[in-house]
Amino acid sequence: MNPSEIVYRGRLAPSPTGLLHLGHARTFWTAQERARAHGGELILRNEDLDRARCQPEFVQAMFADLRWFGFGWTEGPDCGGPFGPYQQSERTAFYRAALARLRAGECVYPCLCSRKDVLAAGRAPHAAEDAEPIYPGTCRNASASAPLPSQYSWRFRVPDGEVISFRDANLGPQAFVAGRDFGDFVVWRPDDVPAYQLACVVDDAAMAVTEVVRGADLLLSTARQLLLYRALGLTPPAFFHCALMLDESGHRLAKRHDSLSLRTLRQQNRKPAELRQAWPPPGG
Ligand SMILES: [Zn+2]
């Protein structure tokens, strides 16, 4: 595909760690509507990097439940396409190349801290919606010649104090301060798996995605990812973050909300068109 022919490319990027629920469907539907409105393409990417939590039966359910709900994609694990493979577990070579580039640019450093260490020493994040504590910088200035243990992670060094700003296509201007709103973040996990932030950036760039539509819980991740785009010399896409769907008690829908899983709704003979009519607009 000639890049000049690319008008709009959006993506659905579910993770098969459970059954998809109505909250996912709502965000994905916005992605599909935006791709249609722009006369663009919609791709499906299976984000199956978490080997311990991703299950084959959830992959099968993901395809079936998305089709049932009315989603259609022209590229994906089930139908192929020019930017494949479309399952992250088969894209390790792309992620390793990106890590090598970050290492060559000294944008990352080996971190020996356990999750427990970071939880104990890290500062609570400024923004309440981000659950990740701010990394205290323990390994930032460790000697490069010190021997490394068998397990460690690679952590991205954020430019402390820099304001990372972008204009969200739904929520308007956004600005986050590196080192205050989020700290140095893991790009490669101790179990030798790329972290979400790195895989997402590498794939969206390699798959020529022009706009990322996802939940507003990922606004801070977008700030982190913009730093990765810059460090890797890649052009970032546009972003459209959707408000999250809440349950009756005001909590975010999660995969544990089985009653609102697409699978259950389908078994109850609910009609996708009626479920969609009950949704407020994506901004609200
Ligand atoms: Zn560390």
| pLDDT tens profile 57-70 | 999 999 999 999 99
> Above pLDDT 90, what percent of the chain?
74
In this structure, of 46-55, 157-166, 202-211, the range with the lowest mean pLDDT score is 46-55
- Around ion ligand 1, residues with a beta carbon closer than 5 Å are 111, 113, 138-139
Predicted pLDDT of residue 125: 60
pLDDT of 6 strictly over 60: yes
- pLDDT, mean over the chain: 90
pLDDT of 108 strictly over 70: yes
- pLDDT category at 284 given cuts 50, 70, 90 is very low
Torsion 94-97-184-53 (CA) sign: positive
Please say whether the beta carbons of 109 and 155 come within 8 A.
yes
Looking at residues 200-214, what average pLDDT do you find? Answer: 98
Q: What is the DSSP letter of 205?
A: H
Output 203-207 pairs: Cβ under 8 A, ≥24 positions apart. 203/13, 203/45, 203/88, 203/91, 203/94, 204/11, 204/237, 205/229, 205/232, 205/234, 205/235, 206/83, 206/94, 207/9, 207/11, 207/43, 207/45, 207/75, 207/83
User: If you measure from the C-alpha of residue 108 to the centroid of ligand 1, how many angstroms do you get, rounded to a whole number?
Assistant: 11
Helix H or strand E segment including 104: helix 92-104
Nearest to 230, CA basis, from 102, 139, 75:
102
User: If you measure from the C-alpha of residue 161 to the centroid of ligand 1, how many angstroms do you get, rounded to a whole number?
Assistant: 20
- pLDDT category at 186 given cuts 50, 70, 90 is very high
Distance CA 203, CA 9 (A): 13
Looking at residues 122-148, what average pLDDT do you find? Answer: 75
User: If you measure from the C-alpha of residue 245 to the centroid of ligand 1, how many angstroms do you get, rounded to a whole number?
Assistant: 35
- Please tell me the pTM assigned to this model: 0.92
Predicted pLDDT of residue 106: 94
Predicted pLDDT of residue 117: 83
User: If you measure from the C-alpha of residue 1 to the centroid of ligand 1, how many angstroms do you get, rounded to a whole number?
Assistant: 42
